[in-house]
Amino acid sequence: MMPYTCHGWRARGDPNAQQSAQLPLHHACPAHERLSQAKLGSVRASVPLPLGGTRPLRRQWLLGGALAIILVGVAGRMTYWQVGEHTQMSALALGQQQRMVPLPAVRGTIRDRNGTVLAVTMSGDALVADPLIIQNLAATTRADVLTRLVTLTGVAAATLQPQFALATGYHVLTDAAGNVIHLSSTVAAAAHEQIAAGMLPGMSTQPQAWRVVPDGSMAGQILGFVRADGRGQYGIEEQYDSWLAGKPGSLYATLDAQGQPLASAPQGVIPTTPGADLTLTLDANLQAVAEMGLHAAVAQMGATGGSVIIEDPQTGAILALTNAPDFDPNAYATANVADFVNPAVAHIYDPGSTMKAMTMAAGIDVGGIVPDTIIDDPGTILVGGQTLANWNQNAWGQETMTEVLQHSSNVGAAWVALNAVGHDRFTRYLTNFGFGASTGVDLAGETSGMLAPTEPNADLTNLDLAENAFGESIGVTPLQMVMAYGALANGGLLLRPQLVSAISQDGHNQTIAPQTVRRVISAQTAATVTTMLVTSSQHSEAATALIPGYAVAAKTGTSTPDPAHPEITYASVLGYAPADHPRFVVLVKLDHPRTAIFGGEAAGPLWRALVRRLLAYDAIPAQGGNSP
């Protein structure tokens, strides 16, 4: 019998074997089938079975639960960041993608009553140097840069060269006065061209806005100035800073990966709100005349300074106000800081005999005197243990109240305050005329002046009262005196001085009306005092202020702040014209004049010249009056 060969099994076990044609590859013989089943059974018997049938299922549940918790946590955090913190995260993203560029608002323009520009904001380019780059240039290249800058700016090399040696990252070039060099459009174009051509290494330009007062120092102490940070300081610029400044805007530019703005990306803009324009009550023509006249008088009289104020007594409008010394707001960085202060509203002085008009008004208003009331003037008066004398030591004898003004009698004025009015009422009239309180003028830095305090010592109180009657031991500002005389001129009303007459913004114009503070004296009293001033000025030191063909009501004043030095005075003339219908109140005050020390001699000529100019300027015809 032939042996049986299983080619199929061999074929399964050895892939290199040649298959038999008798048996297919996947067909095993019966013997091998039985052998395979027997081996399988023995393997199963050797593998231990699990103790319980639920362990794999529990493990699946635990893994699934853990995975679910993780997914819920991830979803919660995503919800927290995308929903709860959406605003913050968006802001952070925008902060990385966008750059905010501040847009400064255009500051409002200041004009005079006739539309003349007094202060305006200009814009243009300034030159910026990087000293660290310039210092590392070759000497010849550095010299070329300096030469080109001198040609462009017109500023001397000696001024520019030290600015290249500064230990700063960037420096805006300035002139010899320390002012930023602002380039005209033509010069700026040339500078841009040279920078682009590499002819000015270490240099760049920067757009800037700056404040300009076209007429230099004119009205400088009224206007004030604008600091480098854009804030107004002193004067109108400070008082109305919130109006003038406007509101800045912002430009949001999208950046690329290198932090550069993308021109094609959308940009967000918060527009600026331009500042308001102001119209002042000042008349630039009168302001210029007052300034030139004051500076000439200060020089001629050897004075240390002075003030001139011109006011419309019917409205309280300030037509001109100037002081000497003053400053140029265009060059405030190099100005004397003391000159920033406006003495007309911030400095006090003893007004001297100009106060006697207020004393007469109080006496007449309470019914204590009339113009023809007669007193005996022995030349001195004893008050509180102190002997007070007339300014020239004269004893005038019998004199009327009008003659008290004419003689400028200290004794007569003290008598009125002590005997015709009394302490309490006189103090009340001083207060009602505006002394001891700010006038409310729309200027920064005003002071309230100084009234003598009420003392328990009756003698001291009477001494203060007597001296206040002729303008000593009282501190007033020049503007307070002008407004008090304005009340005499307009029929007895104290007005608030006004410098801003209109505010314009966004097409809306807000007109500021004159404001009455209070009635001080009756209209009849005001008319009576005016007549007394007109009459007394014809035969007194005030005659230097007389103008042919016009009636003027004026009073001179001379005060000595230090009794030990009677040669050091404040000399002034204060009055109004035309007396029958006053259009102007004018004060001329000189501080410590040397050439002439009395009010009429020192201040009278300028007062007269200004009033003549005012009468001609307003074309007021002559009508006769107290001509010399």
pLDDT one-digit tens code per residue, 534-545: 999 887 777 777
Lowest pLDDT segment from 44-58, 181-195, 313-327: 44-58
Domains and CATH numbers, the chain: 124-212 (3.30.70.2110), 284-617 (3.40.710.10)
Angle (CA) 230-236-242 rounded to 5° is: 50
pLDDT of residue 228: 81
The span from the CA of 106 to the CA of 120, in Å, is 9
Q: How confident is the model at residue 563 (pLDDT cuts 50, 70, 90)?
A: confident
Compute the average pLDDT of residues 330-350.
94
- Judge whether residue 26 has pLDDT over 60: no
- Judge whether residue 321 has pLDDT over 70: yes
- Does the pTM surpass 0.75? The reply is yes
Q: How confident is the model at residue 359 (pLDDT cuts 50, 70, 90)?
A: very high
- Judge whether residue 271 has pLDDT over 70: yes
Compute the average pLDDT of residues 82-108.
68
- At 437, list the tokens: 């309180």
Q: Which residue has the higher pLDDT, 220 or 28?
A: 220
- Judge whether residue 13 has pLDDT over 90: no
* Beta bridge pairs of residue 550: 547
The span from the CA of 270 to the CA of 274, in Å, is 13
pLDDT of residue 479: 98
Nearest CA to 359 among 513, 470, 445, 278?
470
The span from the CA of 119 to the CA of 110, in Å, is 5
Provide the percentage of residues in the chain whose pLDDT is more than 90: 62
pLDDT one-digit tens code per residue, 173-208: 888 877 788 888 899 999 999 999 999 998 888 877
pLDDT of residue 12: 42
Kindly calculate the radius of gyration of the chain based on its CA atoms and give it in whole angstroms: 46
- Judge whether residue 414 has pLDDT over 90: yes
For residue 276, give every residue at least 6 positions away whose Cβ sits within 8 Å of its Cβ, in sequence order, or none: 108, 240, 243, 244, 246, 503, 504, 505
- Judge whether residue 314 has pLDDT over 70: yes
Q: How confident is the model at residue 262 (pLDDT cuts 50, 70, 90)?
A: low
Q: How many residues does the chain have?
A: 628
* Cβ-contact 64, 226 below 8 angstroms: no
Nearest CA to 602 among 296, 258, 200?
296
Q: What are the helix (H) ranges across 566-598?
A: none
CA 544 to chain centre: 40
In the three-class reduction of DSSP (H, G, I as helix; E, B as strand; rest coil), residue 93 is classed as helix
Compute the average pLDDT of residues 576-602.
96
The span from the CA of 382 to the CA of 378, in Å, is 11
Q: Which residue has the higher pLDDT, 63 or 392?
A: 392
pLDDT one-digit tens code per residue, 136-174: 899 999 999 999 999 999 999 999 999 888 876 678 888
The span from the CA of 592 to the CA of 597, in Å, is 7
The span from the CA of 80 to the CA of 75, in Å, is 9
pLDDT one-digit tens code per residue, 230-246: 899 999 999 999 999 99
First to last CA, the chain: 177
Nearest CA to 532 among 411, 365, 377, 403?
403
- Judge whether residue 322 has pLDDT over 60: yes
pLDDT of residue 248: 83
Q: Which residue has the higher pLDDT, 89 or 25?
A: 89
- Judge whether residue 355 has pLDDT over 90: yes
The span from the CA of 301 to the CA of 278, in Å, is 36
The span from the CA of 615 to the CA of 578, in Å, is 8
- Judge whether residue 86 has pLDDT over 60: yes
The span from the CA of 545 to the CA of 538, in Å, is 9
What is the rounded average pLDDT for all residues in the chain? 86
* Cβ-contact 307, 345 below 8 angstroms: no
Compute the average pLDDT of residues 605-616.
96
